[in-house]
Amino acid sequence: MPVGLIKGESSIKELNKREGLVLYWCEGDKSKSGKYKVAVTSSDPRMIKHFISWIYRYYGVNEEKIKLRLHLWPESKIDNCQNWWLKKLNYEFNFTKPYIKEKSGKNNKYPNGICRASLNSKEIFTRIIEDISLELTS
């Protein structure tokens, strides 16, 4: 398991394979564009931790392959938001260029943005979709 993802957080337990499949089925990117992106997006760092720990444990994904992308607003301070997510995740990840929403709106409930953890892998994507079909829809 990636160092520090779950350690020290009593409110976080590791997902079993079936729970992780449900998480991915509900919150995961199921792109049909042929890019085979395996991703979960959430405003809750615990959800991102669960996904990363689960994909490492059951699919052998090296945490160095996981990239984080933040969805931010024009008034967001990119460095502050990235540091907030790194602190909450308790691990060093690589960030890709953030997506900046054009208008901030009046109800921005996410001052530190929304985070997507992802990797590109046809093999892992295919295995997860097959496992969902076998485990959850049969």
Question: Does residue 10 sit within a domain?
Answer: no
SS3 state at 41: strand
Whether the Cβ atoms of residue 81 and residue 96 lie closer than 8 Å to each other: no
- Rounded to an integer, the average pLDDT of 9-34 is 80
Q: How high is the pLDDT of residue 27?
A: 87
Per the structure, the complete domain to which residue 53 belongs is given by 17-136
What share of the chain has pLDDT > 90, as a percent?
Answer: 57
Residues sharing a CB contact under 8 Å with residue 5, sequence separation 6 or more, in sequence order: 49, 52, 53, 89, 90, 91
Q: How high is the pLDDT of residue 8?
A: 46
CATH of the domain at 68: 3.30.1330
Question: Does residue 9 sit within a domain?
Answer: no
Residue 20: phi and psi, rounded to 5, are -65, -35
Question: Does residue 11 sit within a domain?
Answer: no
pLDDT, the chain, mean: 85
- Rounded to an integer, the average pLDDT of 26-34 is 77
Q: Biggest alpha carbon distance in the chain?
A: 47
Question: Does residue 6 sit within a domain?
Answer: no
Of the CA atoms within 13 Å of residue 26, those in its CB half-sphere come to 9
- Does 40 have pLDDT greater than 60? yes
Question: Does residue 12 sit within a domain?
Answer: no
Question: Does residue 5 sit within a domain?
Answer: no
Banded model confidence at residue 1, pLDDT cuts 50, 70, 90: very low
Q: How high is the pLDDT of residue 116?
A: 95
Could you give the number of structural domains in the chain? Answer: 1
Pairing of β 37-42 and β 114-120:
antiparallel
Q: Quick: pLDDT tens for 51-78.
A: 999 999 999 998 788 999 999 998 889 9
Residue with more model confidence, 104 or 130: 130
- Rounded to an integer, the average pLDDT of 24-30 is 86
Start-to-end CA distance of the chain, whole Å, equals: 30
Question: Does residue 70 sit within a domain?
Answer: yes
Whether the Cβ atoms of residue 98 and residue 74 lie closer than 8 Å to each other: no
SS3 state at 39: strand
- Rounded to an integer, the average pLDDT of 18-23 is 92
Sign for the CA dihedral angle at 30, 123, 37, 109 comes to positive
Question: Does residue 75 sit within a domain?
Answer: yes
